[in-house]
Amino acid sequence: MAKVLVVTSGKGGVGKTTTSAALGAALAQLGQNVVVVDFDVGLRNLDLIMGAERRVVYDLVNVVQGDAKLAQALIRDKRVESLSLLPASQTRDKDALTPEGVERVVGELREKFDWIVCDSPAGIERGATLAMRHADIAVVVTNPEVSSVRDSDRIIGLLDSKTARAEAGDKIEKHLLLTRYDAGRAARGEMLKVDDVLEILAIPLLGIIPDSEEVLRASNLGCPVTLHNPASAPARAYADAARRLMGETIEIVVPIERKGLMSRLFGRSVA
């Protein structure tokens, strides 16, 4: 049974695209058949993060509008065989996506893949609502700061009202992924605490991704962080999050800085 997962946040720049690539790759490494779909029409980035920017011929808009077949637009990853990308168009805008077209494409993807990871654009307009429209699961990407938390709260409200599942009276599974978590700043009280964010958003925590140079390095090289340096802290956090999505129970650890050693982790259970 295929699962449609939307990576969303409301706010821009919190790490949706990085997360889509990293989670998609991690799920593929677990043997799942995965496609990551870029819904950010007009401002596409996922192809860069995945290192596929020179291989894009057709895109999501072409398929939605019936100008290309799905198989023509899908780009298979060169590192992990079971990972594919459906890129967005850079030259069009979000109005080029139609609800009927998106529904048809998502339906076709469901037949081919185990996981359809939809990388949502920022905002709450057409692009974002169409990206979440057919989701079964939502990963809400949030930074530990107030504006990101409030925007995430807004998005959770939309997930509970505007998705196809919500309109049919079904529940949509929602998970919180805290990204750019800086242990040093947390220790100095310069960021919201994990418990504060969980208390405000009131959805289960999928993982905490530490703020790390590794993420930037991997992005610049066009490689999901989970593939680029699997031993790094963010890669391990994403890999654990992917296992939790698969139903495994893995304890969540909050990164703690101590004596300047960022990499030292101390076990701690969170809600």
Partner 1 sequence: MALIVAPEPPLAPWLAALDEQIARSRQFFVDRPVVVNLAAVQDQVGAPLEFLEHLTTRGLNIIGVEGIDRAVLEGSRWAQAWVLGATSRDRLVLVPDDPPPADAPEPVPETEPPAQTHLIVERPVRSGQSIIFEAGDVTVLGSVASGAEIIAGGSIHIYGALRGRAVAGVQGNQAARIFCRRLFAELLAIDGLYRTAEHWGEGLHGRPAQAWLDGESVRLAALE
Q: How far apart are the first and last CA of the chain?
A: 29
Contact residue for partner 1 among 53, 103, 145, 153 (CB under 8 A): 153
Instruction: Please list, in sequence order, all residues whose beta carbon lies within 8 angstroms of the beta carbon of residue 143, skipping any fewer than 6 positions away.
Output: 11, 14, 15, 178, 179, 180
CA-to-CA distance for 55 and 249, rounded, in angstroms?
Answer: 37
Contact residue for partner 1 among 107, 157, 170, 188 (CB under 8 A): 157
CA-to-CA distance for 135 and 248, rounded, in angstroms?
Answer: 21
CA-to-CA distance for 259 and 151, rounded, in angstroms?
Answer: 34
Length of the chain in residues, anyone? 271
Residue 240 in tokens:
């654990």
Rounded to the nearest 5 percent, the helix, strand and coil shares of the chain are 40, 20, 40
Residue type, 13: G
* Bridge partner residues of 265 (DSSP): 255
x/- map, 187-226, partner 1, by CB under 8 A: ------------xx-x------------------------
Contact residue for partner 1 among 73, 83, 131, 156 (CB under 8 A): 156
- Provide, rounded to whole angstroms, the least separation between the CB of residue 44 and partner 1: 27
Q: Between 59 and 151, whose beta carbon lies closer to partner 1?
A: 151
DSSP notation for 129-171: HHHHTT-SEEEEEE-SSHHHHHHHHHHHHHHTTTSHHHHTT--
Q: Could you say which residues in the range 119-138 bind partner 1, by CB under 8 A?
A: 124
- Provide, rounded to whole angstroms, the least separation between the CB of residue 124 and partner 1: 8
* Under rule CB under 8 A, residue 107 binds partner 1: no
- Provide, rounded to whole angstroms, the least separation between the CB of residue 222 and partner 1: 35
x/- map, 16-55, partner 1, by CB under 8 A: ----------------------------------------
CB atoms within 10 A of CB 78: 11
* Under rule CB under 8 A, residue 112 binds partner 1: no
* Under rule CB under 8 A, residue 257 binds partner 1: no
- Provide, rounded to whole angstroms, the least separation between the CB of residue 9 and partner 1: 13
Contact residue for partner 1 among 150, 162, 243, 244 (CB under 8 A): 150
Q: How many Cα atoms sit within 13 Å of 103 on the Cβ side? A: 7
Q: Between 13 and 157, whose beta carbon lies closer to partner 1?
A: 157
Cα-based torsion angle of the residue sequence 57, 61, 66, 68 in order, rounded to the nearest 10 degrees? 10
- Provide, rounded to whole angstroms, the least separation between the CB of residue 210 and partner 1: 26
- Provide, rounded to whole angstroms, the least separation between the CB of residue 158 and partner 1: 8
Q: Between 2 and 158, whose beta carbon lies closer to partner 1?
A: 158
Q: Could you say which residues in the range 59-98 bind partner 1, by CB under 8 A?
A: none
Query: Which residue ranges make up the site for partner 1 (CB under 8 A)?
Result: 124, 146, 150-151, 153-154, 156-158, 160, 199-200, 202
